[in-house]
């Protein structure tokens, strides 16, 4: 749990158990988010909605698994990172399918730049930077398609963005201050970003599971 050298899931700010569930508190809150996502997955009626909610479910299910069992090496980091791309590509597919609009060249250039930074982060920087880049990808897509989305979703985009930003800030705090916080208490601080992610997933799923 070295500050500034955050590697998922070994350095998340909940001291792991040697036996049984590695990080039970984080596991519990991830289970809640999985159940919420699964509920909305069952409510989808069209393939493009289903594939987006399914991508979030896969991401969060593996996230849950990673807090139950820690596998040595970079397997869990690489899988969760790949699933984050699945989420963003599925969001892109959903937004394109419902708006029938492809991004212009300027925005595509921005996306390519973000992806390049993301891949650089994966190989040379800590987990925080490619978490940040994936979040920026998601928010960029929402910003670009904002004017083409239904009014109900437009009214709530700001809530989704704020929830994502809060999750990033809590994750950054954990990334920088984990050892310091654990020196005061063994409280499982990683549940704070996990709880914020419950809000993120609820807001996204409840607004994108079936809109036209």
* CB within 8 Å of 56: residues ≥ 6 apart: 37, 87, 201, 204, 205
Handedness of CA 161, 91, 80, 116 (dihedral sign): negative
What integer pLDDT is reported at residue 114 of this predicted model?
Answer: 96
**pTM for the model:** 0.92
Classify residue 125 by its DSSP letter: S
| pLDDT above 60 for 125 | yes
Per-residue pLDDT, averaged over 88-116, amounts to 95
What integer pLDDT is reported at residue 207 of this predicted model?
Answer: 93
What integer pLDDT is reported at residue 123 of this predicted model?
Answer: 85
Per-residue pLDDT, averaged over 124-151, amounts to 91
Between residues 10 and 111, the one the model is more confident about: 111
| pLDDT above 80 for 6 | no
Residues 41-99: tens digit of each pLDDT: 999 999 999 999 999 999 999 999 999 998 887 888 889 999 999 999 999 999 999 99
Most trustworthy range by pLDDT among 91-100, 126-135, 173-182: 91-100
What integer pLDDT is reported at residue 2 of this predicted model?
Answer: 41
For 197, other C-beta atoms within 10 Å of its C-beta total 22
Handedness of CA 195, 41, 49, 105 (dihedral sign): positive
| pLDDT above 90 for 178 | no
């Amino acid at each position: 749990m070295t500050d500034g050298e955050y590697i998922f899931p070994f350095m998340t700010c909940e001291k792991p158990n040697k036996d049984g569930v590695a990080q039970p508190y984080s596991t519990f809150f991830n289970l809640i988010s999985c159940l919420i996502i699964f509920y909305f997955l069952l409510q989808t009626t069209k393939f493009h909605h289903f594939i987006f909610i399914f991508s979030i479910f896969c991401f969060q299910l593996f996230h849950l698994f990673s807090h139950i069992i820690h596998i040595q090496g970079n397997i869990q980091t690489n899988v969760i990172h790949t699933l984050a791309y699945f989420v963003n590509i599925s969001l892109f597919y959903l937004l394109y399918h419902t708006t029938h609009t492809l991004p212009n060249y300027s925005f595509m250039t921005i996306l390519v730049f973000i992806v390049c930074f993301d891949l650089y982060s994966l190989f040379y920087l800590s987990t925080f930077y490619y978490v940040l880049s994936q979040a920026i990808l998601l928010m960029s897509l929402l910003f670009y398609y904002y004017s083409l989305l239904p009014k109900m979703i437009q009214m709530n985009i700001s809530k989704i963005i704020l929830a994502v930003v809060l999750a990033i800030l809590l994750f950054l705090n954990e990334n920088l201050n984990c050892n310091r916080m654990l020196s005061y208490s063994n409280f499982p601080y990683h549940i704070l970003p996990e709880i914020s992610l419950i809000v993120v997933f609820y807001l996204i799923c409840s607004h994108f599971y079936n809109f036209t």
